[in-house]
A and B are shown apart, each in its own frame.
Chain A
Amino acid sequence: MIHERESLMDTERYEALSKRTRLRALEMALQAGAGHLGGSFSCADILVALYYGGLLRHDPADPTWTDRDRLILSKGHANNTLYVILADRGYFPPEELDRFCRPGSFLGNHCDKMVPGVETISGSLGHGLGTAAGLAWGARLSGRDYRVFCILGDGESQEGSIWEAAMFAHQRRLGNLVGILDRNRLGSEDFTEDTAGLDPVEDKWAAFGWDVRSINGHDFHDIFAALGDVCSRDRQRPLMIVANTVKGRGMPVLENTPRAHHTLPKGEQIEMARRVLV
């Protein structure tokens, strides 16, 4: 079981892990000629904190352990960095990453439940928060103390079903549910504020009855400060962490551009990305 609490000040270690995770995800995507690096990189630091920083109670040797915390990656296209982390933590052999998106591999371009460590299928947006709420509610009804984390996209938050789930989670007082909004301000092809704007997004979640914390999603001090106490608090309200991030963070050529969604670096861009991530 992995439940150790890391030093909150050990940010250098997490930053190194983040770089290593992004670099491996980059190589995996380049090898496959497929991937969603933009959204995978914007939530990479949050995933590193959850899986390496002791925030998530889990056991790679027993992926279906009843009392594990559940993590739902609702923005299921952003699985590149998640798969790298799951392999590194021991959920499946790292060699499988070399088979990403290849015929016969269980690692496809969106999350699937058949991947050890992945809780639900995701890839169509707007589903994950409701499923996470159902899981959190099931834990409550069964008297179990696991928590449910759900990483949402901000483009995804344009789906109405997200707000159905938001109302429901508040109604049921799901204090064991933690949403993390990957606020990279980009959808699939455009900036969210140019299509169906979400701001002031913190106020929206607060108006729906959630506790809200706004952080820099690439700053480990911020991440641990926001998430560090969710394990111990007896919450009565669901918590939304609005993680302000940069789509494609770590690949300067694609950072904060609409192309970052599923464009892979090409030519010289590849070496530039590698140099940044080494």
Chain B
Amino acid sequence: MTRAYTEARDACFEELFEIASHDKDVILLTADTGAFAFQRFRAELPDQFFNVGIAEQNAMTVAAGLALSGKRVFVFGISNFVTLRCFEQIKLDICCMDLPVTIIGMGTGYVYPKDGPTHHMTDILSLVRTLPGLTVWSPSDYSIIAAAIRSAYRADGPTYLYMDKGPFDATYSPDADFSDGLAVLRSGRDVTLVATGVMVAQAMRVATRLTERGIDAGVIDLYRIKPLNVPLLERALAGSRRVVTVEENSVIGGLGSLVCETVAEAGLPASVKRLGIQDTYRCDISDREGMRALDGLDLEGIERTVCRWMDDDTGYRTAPQPLRSVGSRRPQRRRQTSEVTR
């Protein structure tokens, strides 16, 4: 019987512990991160849990070697470090050899809003979706995290679990079937918000606020980025004239790009606005909603974008709010691509 969880780490690691306690070939590696969550592994499965140190490239090649020896390997770390630092190892040693290795990237988007660009996960989705053969989960809910772990364990090839710590709105039943890869959480005739991960709850709140303004907004939760369920996404978007994508990720290459590709290739009549992190490094220090506000990803910002779009298109009279100021906002250091000379 599937369990109901109320914490992201519990959903991930208790589910994994349950699997590992029945299969000694399941190995969990950490690159010196998340020790507290692993106390039970360390105490009860000491031959299946290992801290391999702050060496992510080696963690990935070792995971590949273990998988080649017959193990099913899970590697945990902060998303940036277990993705960017070792991207080539993931690409060649894990994905290209189609090995049963699961990378659990902890944290998405601005999960560490006060830690600066080194800890902003602004491009993970854009990058990992380029890797052939990799299944990419971007859960919006505890039940999906647990299901992703179970799915990864059963998979013959590699999996990437891009996991936020939450809190999430528990949307799904613990024993729901997530094989579709996406879900229409609510339908709306005026605009459809497509979101992923922790931004699904944000989109749902915006949809509620829009309803109060007389705008009927739908929400699609795209919780599996790859393989994308193209036919289902096409069907879900078929009735929409306006689509707004919402992600705590670069507007380049992530959810917004994915939706644009789908709409364009299917010849759907929808117009798409991409809300995401602009092509810049954010050096600001703020809380998470404050960081989102820099790119109009906060509740007011998303609402404002939709309202203005509706105004432009239909003459709706709404009352857009001014951009909320961020108290500790520093002057932005914008590095445009054209200035990069390397």
Give B320 Cβ to nearest chain A Cβ, in Å. Answer: 50
Instruction: Name the one of A135, A164, A167 contacting B65, with C-beta atoms under 8 angstroms.
Output: A135
Tell yes or no: B34 within 8 A of A by CB: no
> Known contacts A141-B27, A141-B71: does B65 contact A161 (CB below 8 Å)?
no
Instruction: Name the one of B55, B64, B70 contacting A164, with C-beta atoms under 8 angstroms.
Output: B55
Give A10 Cβ to nearest chain B Cβ, in Å. Answer: 33
> Known contacts A121-B92, A134-B64, A138-B65: does B58 contact A168 (CB below 8 Å)?
yes
Complex alpha-carbon distance, A134 and B99, angstroms = 13
* Interface bits A106-138 vs B (CB < 8 Å: 1, else 0): 000000010000011100101111111111111
Complex alpha-carbon distance, A164 and B58, angstroms = 6
Tell yes or no: B270 within 8 A of A by CB: no
Complex alpha-carbon distance, A111 and B66, angstroms = 20
Give A12 Cβ to nearest chain B Cβ, in Å. Answer: 37
Q: Which residue of A lies closest to B68 (CB)?
A: A135
Tell yes or no: B285 within 8 A of A by CB: no
Complex alpha-carbon distance, A124 and B93, angstroms = 10
Tell yes or no: A165 within 8 A of B by CB: yes
Tell yes or no: A139 within 8 A of B by CB: yes
Instruction: Name the one of A121, A139, A161 contacting B69, with C-beta atoms under 8 angstroms.
Output: A139
* Interface bits A137-166 vs B (CB < 8 Å: 1, else 0): 111011010000000000000001100110
Complex alpha-carbon distance, A233 and B55, angstroms = 30
- A168 and B66 contacting across the interface, CB-CB below 8 Å: no
What is the interface size of chain A, counting residues whose CB is below 8 A from a CB of the partner?
A: 30
- B57 and A134 contacting across the interface, CB-CB below 8 Å: no
> Known contacts A113-B97, A121-B92: does B69 contact A142 (CB below 8 Å)?
yes
* Interface bits B66-104 vs A (CB < 8 Å: 1, else 0): 111111000000000000000011001100110000000
A-contacting residues, B263-291, CB 8 Å: none
Complex alpha-carbon distance, A144 and B68, angstroms = 13
- A138 and B70 contacting across the interface, CB-CB below 8 Å: yes
- B55 and A134 contacting across the interface, CB-CB below 8 Å: no
* Interface bits B203-236 vs A (CB < 8 Å: 1, else 0): 0000000000000000000000000000000000
A-contacting residues, B39-62, CB 8 Å: 47, 52-53, 55, 57-58, 60-62
Instruction: Name the one of B52, B63, B93 contacting A120, with C-beta atoms under 8 angstroms.
Output: B93
The secondary structure that dominates the B interface is: helix
What is the interface size of chain B, counting residues whose CB is below 8 A from a CB of the partner?
A: 26
Complex alpha-carbon distance, A132 and B65, angstroms = 6
Instruction: Name the one of B52, B58, B88, B97 contacting A124, with C-beta atoms under 8 angstroms.
Output: B88
* Chain B residues in 8 Å Cβ range of A124: 88, 92
* Interface bits A51-85 vs B (CB < 8 Å: 1, else 0): 00000000000000000001000000000000000
- B68 and A164 contacting across the interface, CB-CB below 8 Å: no
Instruction: Name the one of A142, A161, A167 contacting B61, with C-beta atoms under 8 angstroms.
Output: A161
* Chain A residues in 8 Å Cβ range of B89: 127, 130, 161
Instruction: Name the one of A127, A129, A138 contacting B68, with C-beta atoms under 8 angstroms.
Output: A138
Q: Which residue of A lies closest to B89 (CB)?
A: A127
* Chain A residues in 8 Å Cβ range of B69: 134-135, 137-139, 141-142, 144
> Known contacts A121-B93, A124-B88, A127-B92: does B68 contact A134 (CB below 8 Å)?
yes
- B93 and A167 contacting across the interface, CB-CB below 8 Å: no
* Chain B residues in 8 Å Cβ range of A161: 57-58, 61, 89
Those 5 A-B pairs whose CB atoms lie nearest each other, nearest first: A134-B65, A138-B69, A130-B61, A164-B58, A134-B62
List residues of chain A with CB under 8 Å of any chain B CB: 70, 113, 119-121, 124, 126-139, 141-142, 144, 160-161, 164-165, 167-168, 171
Please name 12 further chain A to chain B contacts, defined as beta carbons within 8 Å, in addition to the given A127-B89, A134-B68, A141-B69, sorted by A numbering: A113-B97, A121-B96, A130-B60, A133-B58, A134-B69, A135-B66, A136-B65, A141-B47, A165-B58, A165-B61, A168-B52, A168-B62
26 example contacts (A-B, Cβ-Cβ < 8 A) are as follows A70-B68, A120-B93, A121-B96, A121-B97, A124-B88, A127-B92, A127-B93, A130-B57, A130-B64, A130-B65, A133-B61, A133-B65, A134-B62, A134-B66, A137-B69, A138-B70, A138-B71, A141-B47, A142-B70, A161-B57, A161-B61, A164-B57, A165-B61, A165-B62, A167-B55, A168-B55
List residues of chain B with CB under 8 Å of any chain A CB: 25, 27, 47, 52-53, 55, 57-58, 60-71, 88-89, 92-93, 96-97
